[in-house]
Structure 1
Amino acid sequence: MGLFRSMEVFVVAVEEGSMSGASGKLGLSPAMVGQHVAALEERLGVRLLNRTTRRQSLTVFGASYLEQCRDILERVAMADQDAEASQTLLRGKLRVTAPTTFGAETLMPTLRRYRKLAPDVALDITLTDRNVDIVDEGFDIAIRIGELRDSRLIARQLAPYKMMISASPDYLSRQGIPSHPSSLANHDAIAFSPAAGSPWRLERHSEIVQVVPRVSLTVNSGQAVRMAARAGLGVIMQPAILVRSDIQTGLLVPLFSDWHLRERPMSLVYHRDRRMTPSLRSAITFFVSEFGAP
């Protein structure tokens, strides 16, 4: 017999004043109620109840044990309630990592909406272009751009990462507007360090052009690449989300708008063995809804 169940039966038997009264409340036979009390007495090696055919009364030890049982059962009930609440309430801390540009330009503006959904969830966000190991480094969620290789992770596909080629009006007035992607080989390019040396691939109908631009400046920050382009230092290929506002205001001019640049896959990933708490589930659902494929 379970110890906590026997304690519960003992408390009810005392409160109801008899084994038969407890049996009706607990849905047990009077004999089974008696067995629970007897099991406690055998375990403790001391009598809890003085029983006659007409009445029962607590022994001195039984009265003390009754209060201890009540206290223990109340604590167990509170622990159960806390456990149940933890499965329904959105609270706690979530660690999220995302690429720097995406995180600053796209992720951050959405967090106000998530805060309304889950005001008691504390978000710890790390923006880095390093491909962090979310298992070893203790992250709950990561947003990744590019192909995935870690089989330990569960991936949810997001909308692909779109790229755009642009330059400042000042640069184009000095160097001329490239009429064809192949002419980019004769233009100064500003490269984001992790992608420096990678060819730029453009497609239009059946025509495919792959060109390695003449890199005159390499920077390890997407924002710095953008500012260098605004200063007229060269042509850039950067995420559309990074240059969109500059193009709208005329600080940068889009190039090859009738060409298609290969999009990069983007995914939300989390560890397959991670316990799916309500907070983690809510964040995954929110991010997939916000950034998922249309």
Structure 2
Amino acid sequence: MCHSFVVRELVVSNMDRLRAMETFVAVVEGGNFTEAAQRLEMSAVMVGKYVRQLEDSLGARLLERTTRRQGLTDAGRVYYEDSKRALEYVRVAEMSIERLRASPSGTLRISAPITFGSCVIAPLVATFQRTYPLVHIELELSNRVVDLIDEGFDMAIRIGELGDVDLVAKPLTMYRMVICASPDYLARHGHPQTPHDLSAHHCLSHTVWNSRNAWKLKGWDEVQPPIEPSFTCNDGNGLRMAALAGAGLLLQPEVLVAQDLASGALISVLQTYLPEPRAVHIVHRQDRRPLPKLTRFIGHLLAHVGEQETH
């Protein structure tokens, strides 16, 4: 019996009903409608409306009112005690959210494309957690476009066209491709000067590419001869390792081979014909007051992505 009224109230609860519960408690503790109205900064008429709303929804009278005094019914006493507990639970819940907003903590779920996520995002997770050790980060690497709301992600990295107009998008950087090969391979086969030369070279290709989207270079969409790859792999890093071993020409994101290019282990070729760079965006759900764990991590990415890519 002691919890029946609260259970029924929670089933039909909304913000207006929660306000009605708060008003009823104020009436009981203030002794009358006038005192409750002053405490809640509303009119006494509105106080009466909230109390009647509760009584109608519960199907029970909560207050006995006469011209001289006001008292609780048996149902009113039970509902008053349970309402106080329910309102306290709400207050504690709100305080926990405020604590989350005051300092970055909790779990942050991120989706990112495989290559960009592993080469750029994962290292920045480490530097972020040195500053904010209470934030636990789950980074899922996948080239599919996830649904942030349905799948419970706080943010995602998107390359190219943005599909969901309901998300907040922030530009992060540009996603550039590069064609490169090892010095040993180029010494044996020569440097290609135009895309027409690719037919005479060993080309390394990703398994998901096909004749329509593989090795499409700027300015050569119509006249470029088809490329027959000598080696395919379903992993960009596997292709990179093959290129380092001298297997052939590699077309992959610059972030994957940046250190190899800087060290001279791979040499860039055909720079004039590279595919157009694509924009990289951070996307997250719309929230009037996003939690610090999200805003601080986004700020960390915006501040350090360019710096990280050049090292």
Question: In the superposition, relative to structure 1, how do residues 209 and 226 fare at CA in structure 2: closer, same or farther (>3 Å)?
Answer: farther
* 8 A Cα contact 1:145 1:161, kept in partner: yes
Q: Which residue of 2 aligns with 1:199?
A: 215
1:5 and 2:23 correspond: yes
> What's the TM-score, normalizing by structure 1?
0.69
* Structure 2 gaps, min length 5: 1-18, 55-59, 307-311
Q: 2:217 is paired with a residue of what secondary structure?
A: strand
> What does 1:91-102 correspond to in 2, within 5 Å?
91-102=105-116
Q: Which residue of 1 aligns with 2:139?
A: 125
1:277 and 2:295 correspond: no
* Structure 1 gaps, min length 5: 14-18, 52-57
Question: In the superposition, relative to structure 1, how do residues 199 and 5 fare at CA in structure 2: closer, same or farther (>3 Å)?
Answer: same
Q: Which moved more, 1:136-145 or 1:81-90?
A: 81-90
Give distance in 1, aligned partners of 2:305 and 2:185. Answer: 34
Q: 2:133 is paired with a residue of what secondary structure?
A: coil
Q: 2:205 is paired with a residue of what secondary structure?
A: strand
Q: Which residue of 2 aligns with 1:245?
A: 259
Q: Which residue of 1 aligns with 2:125?
A: 111
Q: 1:215 is paired with a residue of what secondary structure?
A: coil
Q: 1:224 is paired with a residue of what secondary structure?
A: helix
Bigger radius of gyration among the two:
1
> What does 1:103-252 correspond to in 2, within 5 Å?
103-116=117-130, 118-151=132-165, 153-197=167-211, 198-202=214-218, 210=224, 212-252=226-266
Q: Which amino acid aligns with 1:91?
A: S
Q: CA deviation at 1:235?
A: 0.6
Give distance in 1, aligned partners of 2:146 and 2:94. Answer: 37
Question: In the superposition, relative to structure 1, how do residues 6 and 140 fare at CA in structure 2: closer, same or farther (>3 Å)?
Answer: closer
Give distance in 2, aligned partners of 1:230 and 1:129. Answer: 24
What count of residue pairs does the alignment treat as equivalent? 275
Question: In the superposition, relative to structure 1, how do residues 176 and 267 fare at CA in structure 2: closer, same or farther (>3 Å)?
Answer: closer
Q: CA deviation at 1:5?
A: 2.9
Q: 1:195 is paired with a residue of what secondary structure?
A: coil
Give distance in 1, aligned partners of 2:267 and 2:203. Answer: 14
Give distance in 2, aligned partners of 1:67 and 1:3. Answer: 11
Q: Which moved more, 1:119-128 or 1:103-112?
A: 119-128
Q: Which moved more, 1:88-97 or 1:63-72?
A: 63-72
Q: Which residue of 2 aligns with 1:54?
A: none
In the TM superposition, what whole-angstrom CA distance separates every residue of 1:133-169 from its partner, at most 9, and x where no partner exists? Answer: 4455443322122333445544333321111111112
* 8 A Cα contact 1:153 1:269, kept in partner: no
Give distance in 2, aligned partners of 1:143 and 1:66. Answer: 49
Identity %: 34
In the TM superposition, what whole-angstrom CA distance separates every residue of 1:202-226 from its partner, at most 9, and x where no partner exists? Answer: 46xxxx9856444111111100010
Q: CA deviation at 1:191?
A: 0.8
Question: In the superposition, relative to structure 1, how do residues 142 and 66 fare at CA in structure 2: closer, same or farther (>3 Å)?
Answer: closer
Q: 2:279 is paired with a residue of what secondary structure?
A: strand
Question: In the superposition, relative to structure 1, how do residues 212 and 63 fare at CA in structure 2: closer, same or farther (>3 Å)?
Answer: closer
1:264 and 2:282 correspond: no
Q: 2:230 is paired with a residue of what secondary structure?
A: strand
Q: CA deviation at 1:126?
A: 1.2
> What's the TM-score, normalizing by structure 2?
0.66
Q: 1:113 is paired with a residue of what secondary structure?
A: helix
Q: Which amino acid aligns with 2:26?
A: E
RMSD: 4.6
In the TM superposition, what whole-angstrom CA distance separates every residue of 1:166-213 from its partner, at most 9, and x where no partner exists? Answer: 11122122212224443122111001222343234146xxxx985644
Give distance in 2, aligned partners of 1:149 and 1:72. Answer: 42
Q: Which residue of 2 aligns with 1:16?
A: none
Q: Which amino acid aligns with 2:119?
A: E
Give distance in 2, aligned partners of 1:290 and 1:212. Answer: 39
In the TM superposition, what whole-angstrom CA distance separates every residue of 1:264-287 from its partner, at most 9, and x where no partner exists? Answer: 323335465678631444444443
Q: Which residue of 1 aligns with 2:7?
A: none
In the TM superposition, what whole-angstrom CA distance separates every residue of 1:82-129 from its partner, at most 9, and x where no partner exists? Answer: 344455453333322211111111111111333255433322211123
